[in-house]
Amino acid sequence: MLSDELIIALIKCLKELRLPTVRACYEEEADRARKETLSYEYYLAEVMEREREVRRHNRIQRYLRESKLPLEKSLEVFEMSRLSSMLASQINVLIEGSFVERSENVLAFGNPGSGKTHLLCAIGQELILRGRRVLFTPCSLLVQQLLIAKRDLKLPRVLKRLSKYDAMIIDDIGYVQQNREE
């Protein structure tokens, strides 16, 4: 067993290093390691893996919140039967996300109510699950934000904030009539 002083020092160290999951599970994992006579390295790997997994989960939840995606528009509830087989295979390629690495734009065209927004939101959620940062915004709102930033001389700051996203889904870009400044 560890002495009280050692436990206090360990907890202080884990707080300072910002390892909350390790702090929460190290005793349980240490007991298991003793019972199963696991190596020090295996114990350490198990504890650190739990920390990594919790951080990954928290990061995904944070990315989903900040994306402003309508979470009810997921791939699970999208009717893939509405798509041709060729389009369905293209969706799988988009979900993979290689277009993001190549900085390629993806445009979705179709009649109103055909599921473009739903499908793009679903793809955005899948990209987030793969660790990408995505932002969903209506075109009109984005244009307003940029015009306000320009007026307030904060355009570089807003553009820098937008540049942190790996992908942006700009909804209804074709429905907005814009003047020259916009």
User: What is the per-residue pLDDT across 154-177, written as a single tens digit (0 to 9) for each?
Assistant: 999 999 999 999 999 999 876 556
How far CA 136 is from CA of 5, 59, 120, in Å, comes to 50, 17, 9
Residue position matching structure tokens 């790997």: 45
pLDDT of residue 61: 97
Confidence of residue 114 (pLDDT cuts 50, 70, 90): confident
pLDDT of residue 87: 86
Q: What is the pTM of this model?
A: 0.80
CA distance 130 to 60: 9
Residue spans of alpha helices (H) in 68-138: 85-96, 98-101, 116-129
Nearest to 170 by CA among 127, 116, 95: 116
Nearest to 130 by CA among 108, 100, 175: 100
Q: b vs e for 128-159, b when ≥16 Cβ sit within 10 Å of the residue's Cβ?
A: beeebbbbbbbbbebbeeeeebeeeeeeeebe
DSSP-derived secondary structure for 7-23: HHHHHHHHHHTT-HHHH
Q: b vs e for 47-85, b when ≥16 Cβ sit within 10 Å of the residue's Cβ?
A: beebbeebeeeeeeeebbeebbbeeebebeebeeeeeee
